[in-house]
Structure 1
């Protein structure tokens, strides 16, 4: 069975990263867990290392795309499992993403989280991403922003470079569908920290919206240049 490398970008996640690492390490397919500390100002790196992860530290916060690239550069696995840092104990459910890839039924799997009654925002970023994927590929997807994905290394290399900031996931989805790759969305009982309606939460979603919009525009421009 191909060795699986887990890559977890993390920024200021000292309260959750250790539980996430411990949960994913119990998966029998996993050969290594790599946490990329994206310039955190807290004890994220220390907590990740203490839980058994290999830690790659970036000197400053460079964004999710750069963190994933740094993790990929040191990963040894033939299959990559990309996860967010705040899944905590639910991260063990991410094993369900691996089976379709390991069995050759999918080139990339994407986690679909359970529906939640908690509504932090108004769903504008997700709606933009779903519309953008449909606009650029003609395909309807449920989870264009999900950061929980399993993918073979040789497939991921075809989708590089990673988009900057919060545009990473929507770019991976669009590029994969454009290349005719088999993308399978998998309902998984994962959970992560939900944003609320504080000023900082709206600022976070505003940055997401900007990055996704920029990424969609860039992907459209790439098609027009061909």
Structure 2
């Protein structure tokens, strides 16, 4: 995953204890407020943003083939032998049973029985995927059709992406608040409130060199965080 750093622009306004950030490109403005509450606590309120991109972590490849015979048994046996060879090849390359599905369809036309079969395989190891496709194309040649990979993001990958970008936005907010509190002669305390205000996802383009390119997704997050402030202890203990 790639994390894009956020940029912070701060300007001091002459009145009050309020500091306002200038606009961050594409993310809107931010307000940093240092205020004294009724119980004399000091707080700093900041927003932080981040962008994280992640390439697809899954791909499906389909292997399709068909045959025609004068009897149901003949066409079934012919297709079954082809299916078994493909499954054996997949097992030899450590493809697990739950990562593949096999479907067959038989029909009769022009006094012949026709059967079509499709083997669908899900890969998370793209090197493994490439090796399997090469073997099938070399051994079975034109008798089968091996599709180009269809890449996608698994739910686990998307969940990790969403958590990562939110955590990165909170960290950017913390760094911003730390710099502001230091400028004000304060020490940043613990967070009092953390709220994600905006979360978006968009197509992040494609990654890879020549040949197959993996699509990626870019996620952005903007959070609002309130920290408490503590006065710096300017006294030093004598040794």
Whether TM-score is above 0.5 comes out as: no
The structure, 1 or 2, with the larger RCO (C-alpha pairs under 8 Å, 6+ apart) is 2
TM-score range (shorter-chain normalised) is under 0.3
TM-score (norm 1): 0.24
TM-score (norm 2): 0.23
Q: Which has the higher helix share?
A: 1
Q: Which has the higher strand share?
A: 2
Greater C-alpha Rg: 2
